[in-house]
Amino acid sequence: MKKGHRENTVGPWAAAKLDALEAYLKFYGTALSKQPFTRVYIDAFAGACVTKVRVNDAASEPSPFFDDLDDTTAQAEFILGSPVRALSVPNGFHQHYFFDLDETRAETLRDLVKGKDGVKVQVGDCNPLIRQLAPSLKKRNLRGIAFLDPYGAHLEWTTLEALADTGTMEVVINFPVAMAINRLITRSGDVPEKWSDQLTACFGTDEWRKVAYSRETDLFGNEVTTKNGGVAERLLDLYVRRLKELFAHVATPRLIRNTRKAPLYYLLWAGPNKLGLKGAEYILRQGEKVRA
């Protein structure tokens, strides 16, 4: 394993997100193991294969892909990323698509999957790449999962529309509204154009402005813009409501908090099948849930 790969770090809460993903992938593989479907996995923001945890309170089981993670110390300090978990899941996928903006991470992943069939690693913005891929996923004998784990407001709504339009793909979304997206909502209401465009692309609408801000006229006739309270929860409601317009089934979000119990992000599931909903609801129920 390359030194640079070991230098990726995350907080211990990342384990909760990845453990939930892995649990759902195992459920999915078992549910479809006797069905004649070609199973497809998409990792839109694939990230590192192995990530160092900033505190020693998260552990992962050893993986056959990494012989140098067998000792107890390594298990306590590193967690396996989503690519390794997806490749290792029993009754897994026939085709894997991994997208990442970073060439170094992509090269590490290519080394990992060398010699494996049905695996494609591509460097670039996952949004146009997934939209290009989506039409080929409209097949009766195909089913799949897309794991969408953006670093901020980088997942575009048109990408979700393309995946929903396949009728075959489920999505597991890490929605970082409390951790990253809320930071783009300035207190003054003067949102830079670049941020504004990113938020509109993320939500697929500029309705986020009405959700985030209130405008009133003061005693002197001037319009005053105020950031609303509970913006993160309001934006989550907007996002989930719009997801329900795309997918037949949407699970109750699971809230992930940091070690100080502050909210970070929500795990969301949406898909075309009721069985998937039942599995997602059960798995997400293992963590903290919110009404939406």
As a whole number of angstroms, the distance between CA 269 and CA 249 comes to 8
284 in helix, strand or coil?
helix
Going by the DSSP 8-state scheme, the letter that residue 185 receives in this structure is S
* Residue 133, pLDDT score: 98
**Residue type for 61, please?**
E
**Residue type for 103, please?**
E
Angle 15-241-130 from CA coordinates, rounded to 5°: 60
Dig out the tokens for 284 from the structure: 């997400």
97 in helix, strand or coil?
strand
* Residue 8, pLDDT score: 65
DSSP H helical segments within 3-147, as ranges?
A: 3-6, 14-32, 72-77, 82-88, 103-113, 126-133
For 229, other C-beta atoms within 10 Å of its C-beta total 8
Residue 72 lies in domain = 3-289
- Cβ contact 263:257 at 8 Å: yes
Distance set, CA 216 to CA 95, 108, 172, 263 (Å): 53, 53, 38, 29
CATH number of the domain at 276, please: 3.40.50
- Cβ contact 148:173 at 8 Å: yes
Angle 72-54-184 from CA coordinates, rounded to 5°: 150
As a whole number of angstroms, the distance between CA 46 and CA 59 comes to 20
Dig out the tokens for 188 from the structure: 């003054």
As a whole number of angstroms, the distance between CA 182 and CA 227 comes to 11
- What's the pTM? 0.86
Sequential pLDDT tens for the chain (292 residues): 333 333 466 666 788 889 999 999 999 999 999 999 999 999 999 987 887 776 644 333 444 444 444 444 444 477 788 999 999 999 999 999 999 999 999 999 999 898 889 999 999 999 999 999 999 999 999 999 999 999 889 999 999 999 999 999 999 999 998 878 988 999 988 999 999 999 999 999 999 999 999 987 766 767 778 889 999 999 999 999 999 999 999 999 999 888 788 888 899 999 999 999 999 999 988 766 665 5
Q: 139: buried, middle or exposed (CB in 10 Å: 19+, 13-18, 0-12)? A: middle
* Residue 68, pLDDT score: 45
* Residue 221, pLDDT score: 65
Number of domains in the chain: 1
As a whole number of angstroms, the distance between CA 245 and CA 231 comes to 21
186, containing H or E segment: none
* Residue 10, pLDDT score: 66
- Cβ contact 107:113 at 8 Å: no
Phi/psi of residue 74, each to 5°?
-65, -40
For 21, other C-beta atoms within 10 Å of its C-beta total 22
